[in-house]
Amino acid sequence: MKSIQELEQIRNRMRDQMAKRENSDGYRIVVGMATCGIAAGARPVMRTLIDELKLRNKADVPVTMTGCIGVCRLEPIVEVFSADGQKTTYVKMDENKAKRVVAEHIVNGNVCTDLTIGAAENQTK
Amino acid sequence: MQIFRAHVLCCAGTGCTSSKSLQIIDEFEKHIKDNHIDDEVKVIKTGCFGLCAEGPIVVIYPEGTMYVRVAPEDVKEIVEEHLVKGRTVSRLLAGHHDAEAISQSLDDVDFFSRQKRIALRNCGVINPESIDEYIARDGYVALAKVLTEMTPQQAIDVVTASGLRGRGGAGFPAGRKWQFAANSKGDIKYVCCNADEGDPGAFMDRSILEGDPHSVIEAMTIAGYAIGANHGFIYIRAEYPIAVQRLNIAIKQAKEYGLIGDRIFDTDFSFSLEIRLGAGAFVCGEETALMTSIEGKRGEPRVRPPFPAVKGLFGKPTILNNVETYANIPVIFTHGPEWFNTIGTEKSKGTKVFAVGGKIMNTGLVEIPMGTTLREIVYDIGGGIPNGKKFKAAQTGGPSGGCIPAEHLDTPIDYDSLARIGSMMGSGGLIVMDEDNCMVDIAKFFLEFTVDESCGKCPPCRIGTKRMLEILEKITNGKGEDGDIEKLEELAKSISKSALCGLGQTAPNPVLSTLRYFRHEYEAHIYDKKCPAGVCKAMLQYKINPDKCIGCSLCSRKCPVEAISGERKKPYVIDQSMCTKCGVCMETCKFAAIYKG
Ligand SMILES: Cc1cc2nc3c(=O)[nH]c(=O)nc-3n(C[C@H](O)[C@H](O)[C@H](O)COP(=O)(O)O)c2cc1C
């Protein structure tokens, strides 16, 4: 890196890319892949998401990983961002639930309410 | 056989045909032909999907997209958008109705919305393996600013003005530490990061390194410029393989971008960074032991002074900061020290991350502004104590810390308030205890840990903590005697005065602080031979209340050592000489006839 301008170029290019990603009609999926998530089974969940998206011709939906968000007791956590920036947080995921999220949420635009953090919180109350 | 790229399934069940599904099929065939994709897409009539209320229904494969309440007029759009351009027609998607009242996103949950995330700003938000995502969120802007616009002294002044104090335990002002090292003469200096994270149950640092490794790299490079060091070490325990892997990736990416390495931002400043793996000894978190370990020797502490800022790693001036301390640095530069000053209390600025565990609903990682009360953490963020139990105390500071009893629930959490009530901020472990926790047992737990982890170099720690543990074992085994408390206090005092390093000096703290607030529990163990919380097995008996027992025999059948006997339909009894106090009987009794006493 030779200059601040160079850094700014990367920043702007990346921001453009992220903005495009957010404004596209597509979804974006983020999987928590810190130690807590991985220990709870995030790896097979992520793999299932990717496979299932491929199967349903939605391989263009990006699946990325992220760190620990702090609610380790609810891992594996999967967050789905929709085109309008709306975030849905799915908790205690497994492979079957991952398939459901792809089928119902990504393909059919239907939030799987029973798998969200709100539902999990209501249960423990 | 002809292979089709897509299949359009249209319901031709009675329900849907009555709402024009046949007409819809005709429309599909027509528009598919018009768009010249009739050899790629096949329309199929299907039976009922069982969702007649939402009919007519059209499902398009391979995705399996389900469109509902489709009208003949919609078909043209579906063909042109979905089949030709590959874009779903969202207005026709199933379940496109109002979101339900349940909070679907983490951001709406109390646990999250009450936090203030500075050190954890990128954790769970960016992809930790992408330097570009870090840069998109203003990463490395602070480094650019410092290297190209500031002198080293100005950089130190910013850190000093921010009021940032070390997050590794002792709370020493970061700016002051940097200043000492900068003032030390020497052409070779070092910057070290303490990622040893030895407190049982704490995982703040791991989360930062796994979720946002670049923030630590950026901060260490800034520190290098500020004190005049060109080389840094991150000391991390080998038990954190994912954090190590992400750090390695991050260092490689930063090198490729020239954000560490030679002549960063075309200035004269160069900085390189290496990782050193620790084997997971608690004492290696202590600064002098850590540096000894980096040097390749056995990780034992040494006497201070000389302080590391004067004579540290390889005998050179060195600064060592904790992971979370570093994670705060870049934002202090991008947002300004004044901004950082507005968060927290007078003497404790910013936020603190806690790993909350124990008897609490929402266990996890929370970052709160300094000055937040323990009550807010336990009840508002933590969701309270499960099973309707009562809060008894919270333990902070791990094996070096102490407990905060219920009467201090409203104490603001900052370095000085916690020290005043005999606990400490520590590195961020926070264990909540309820009425079922025995405080003598807790003190024993932490002392077992320090006895295990004592490196053995100095006698007060090696022998003294062992003697304290023996007394605690005696007390919890029901063999406590008059004078034991006094002996504990005497040992505690001399160990904290005479031990070589922080490990030994603080090892008696859990005993002292439980004695301060729960002396009556020690006394009950010693004089009444009773454990009020019903934890210490030696002093507890399971008994059957004859008024409640109906003689169902369930407990006697479940008892693994056949210690329970009796006649059916008459009260049963437990033979205390055989009972192993496993508690199975109490769990199985449907009539609450068994109690601990
Ligand atoms: C026995 C013992 C263990 C320690 N373990 C850690 C640790 O795991 N992580 C840490 O950051 N600091 C630990 N410390 C504190 C360090 O010695 C040192 O004060 C700290 O890393 C300085 O960084 P800071 O000023 O940014 O907090 C420990 C101290 C002692 C006495």
The backbone torsions φ and ψ at residue B8, rounded to the nearest 5 degrees and listed phi first, read -105, 115
What is the domain count for chain A? 1
Yes or no, beta carbons of A66 and B62 under 8 Å apart: no
Q: Note down the domain range covering A71.
A: 24-123
What are the tens digits of pLDDT across the range B541-569?
Answer: 899 999 999 999 999 999 999 999 999 99
Instruction: Looking at the structure, tell me whether residues B318 and B245 fall in a common domain.
Output: yes
pLDDT at A125 > cutoff 60: no
Percentage, residues of chain B above pLDDT 70? 96
User: For the residues A94-122, what does the mean pLDDT come to?
Assistant: 91
Instruction: Looking at the structure, tell me whether residues B355 and B247 fall in a common domain.
Output: no
Q: Give the A:B interface size as CB pairs under 8 Å.
A: 177
Residue B122 lies in a domain: no
pLDDT attached to residue B99? 42
Instruction: Looking at the structure, tell me whether residues B508 and B588 fall in a common domain.
Output: no
What are the tens digits of pLDDT across the range B416-456?
Answer: 999 999 899 988 999 999 999 999 999 999 999 999 999 99
What is the domain count for chain B? 5
Closest partner residue to A64 (CB to CB) among B100, B127, B362 is B127
pLDDT attached to residue B310? 95
Q: How confident is the model at residue B98 (pLDDT cuts 50, 70, 90)?
A: very low
To the nearest whole number, what is the mean pLDDT of chain B? 92
Q: Which residue has the tokens 């329970």?
A: B564
Please tell me the distance from the alpha carbon of residue B466 to that of residue B480, in angstroms, as a whole number: 16
Instruction: Looking at the structure, tell me whether residues B212 and B332 fall in a common domain.
Output: yes
Q: Note down the domain range covering B31.
A: 6-113
User: For the residues B579-592, what does the mean pLDDT come to?
Assistant: 92
Q: How many CB atoms lie under 10 A from the CB of residue A10?
A: 17
Q: How confident is the model at residue B47 (pLDDT cuts 50, 70, 90)?
A: low
pLDDT attached to residue B97? 45
What are the tens digits of pLDDT across the range B333-350?
Answer: 999 999 999 999 999 999
Q: How far is the CA of B168 from the centre of ligand 1 (A)?
A: 5
Instruction: Looking at the structure, tell me whether residues B206 and B278 fall in a common domain.
Output: yes
Yes or no, beta carbons of A118 and B102 under 8 Å apart: yes
What are the tens digits of pLDDT across the range B261-288?
Answer: 999 999 999 999 999 999 999 999 999 9
Residue A5 lies in a domain: no
Q: How confident is the model at residue A86 (pLDDT cuts 50, 70, 90)?
A: confident
Yes or no, beta carbons of A109 and B93 under 8 Å apart: yes
pLDDT at B58 > cutoff 90: no
pLDDT attached to residue B567? 92
pLDDT at B55 > cutoff 80: no
Q: Determine contact, residues B353/B366, Cβ cutoff 8 Å.
A: yes
With beta carbons under 8 A apart, name residues in chain B contacting A123: none
Q: Looking at CA atoms only, how far is residue B133 from chain A in angstroms? A: 7
Yes or no, beta carbons of A25 and B95 under 8 Å apart: no
User: For the residues B71-87, what does the mean pLDDT come to?
Assistant: 88
Residue A47 lies in a domain: yes
pLDDT attached to residue B96? 54
The CATH number for B376's domain is 3.10.20.600
Percentage, residues of chain B above pLDDT 90? 77
Residue B119 lies in a domain: no
* CA B191 centroid distance within chain: 25
Q: Looking at CA atoms only, how far is residue A48 from chain B in angstroms? A: 15
The CATH number for A77's domain is 3.40.30.10
pLDDT at B50 > cutoff 50: yes
To the nearest whole number, what is the mean pLDDT of chain A? 89
Q: How confident is the model at residue A43 (pLDDT cuts 50, 70, 90)?
A: very high
**Lowest mean per-residue pLDDT among B7-16, B268-277, B391-400, B493-502:** B7-16
Residue A19 lies in a domain: no
Cα separations in angstroms, B228 against B217, B245, B317:
16, 28, 10
Give the ranges where chain A is alpha helix by DSSP (H).
Answer: 4-23, 35-40, 42-55, 95-100, 117-124
Instruction: Looking at the structure, tell me whether residues B192 and B62 fall in a common domain.
Output: no
**Lowest mean per-residue pLDDT among B82-96, B149-163, B231-245, B537-551:** B82-96
pLDDT attached to residue B102? 63
Residue A62 lies in a domain: yes
Residues B379-407: b if buried by 16+ CB within 10 A, e if exposed: bebbbebeeeeebbbbbbbbbbbbbbbee
pLDDT attached to residue A97? 96
Q: Which of B55, B86, B113 lies at the terminal end of a domain, its last residue?
A: B113
pLDDT at A18 > cutoff 50: yes
The CATH number for B518's domain is 1.20.1440.230
Q: Which of B434, B451, B483 lies at the terminal end of a domain, its last residue?
A: B434
Residue B124 lies in a domain: no
Task: Kindly provide the residue ranges of all beta strands, DSSP E only, lying in B204-362, ordered along the sequence.
Answer: 231-237, 272-278, 318-322, 351-358
Residue B394: helix, strand or coil by DSSP? strand
pLDDT attached to residue B488? 97
The CATH number for B182's domain is 3.40.50.11540
pLDDT attached to residue A1? 72
pLDDT attached to residue B372? 96
Q: Which of B406, B434, B462 lies at the terminal end of a domain, its last residue?
A: B434
Token representation of residue B517: 């607030």
Which of B160, B190, B194, B227 has most ligand 1 atoms within 8 Å of its beta carbon, as the pocket-test mutant?
B194
Residue B45 lies in a domain: yes
